[in-house]
Amino acid sequence: MKNYCNVTDSSMEDKTNGSVDTKSPVENGQLPDPANWGVADVVNYFKATGFEEQATAFQDQEIDGKSLLLMTRNDVLTGLSIKLGPALKIYEYHVKPLQTQHLKSNAS
């Protein structure tokens, strides 16, 4: 399984698989801290990762970075009104790793 916290591989997979686009903002091999993202940043992140259609759900629900970091699996699966398959990928490959990255970077 690919680690989506580190977005430095130039040979990215097809975006329809939920992989990260090389145009994502990367700082020192990692994405900037999502806690500082606005709603537009969250929407742009999901558009760049191949979830353009689902990104509008984050816009509609006004999910900013702080809200994204607080989301549970259930929130993503049921609270955003998106199809189950993409919702599972969004949570497992994006939300959860972003939460883990945030916790690790703020643990020190």
The model's pTM is: 0.74
**pLDDT 10s digits, 62-104:** 999 999 999 999 999 999 999 999 999 999 999 999 999 999 9
Phi/psi of residue 29, nearest 5 degrees? 80, 0
Burial class of residue 39 in the structure, from the number of CB atoms within 10 Å of its CB (0-12 exposed, 13-18 middle, 19+ buried): middle
Token pair 């977005």 is found at: 7
Question: Hey, what are 20's tokens?
Answer: 């990260």
Q: In the predicted model, is pLDDT for residue 48 greater than 60?
A: yes
- The predicted pLDDT at position 25 comes to 55
Q: How would you label 54-73 residue by residue, b for 16+ Cβ within 10 Å and e otherwise? A: bbebbeeeebbbebbbebee
Question: Among 3.40.50.1980, 3.40.50.150, 3.40.50.2300, 1.10.150.50, what is the CATH number of 32-105?
Answer: 1.10.150.50
Sketch the domain layout of the chain as residue ranges. 32-105
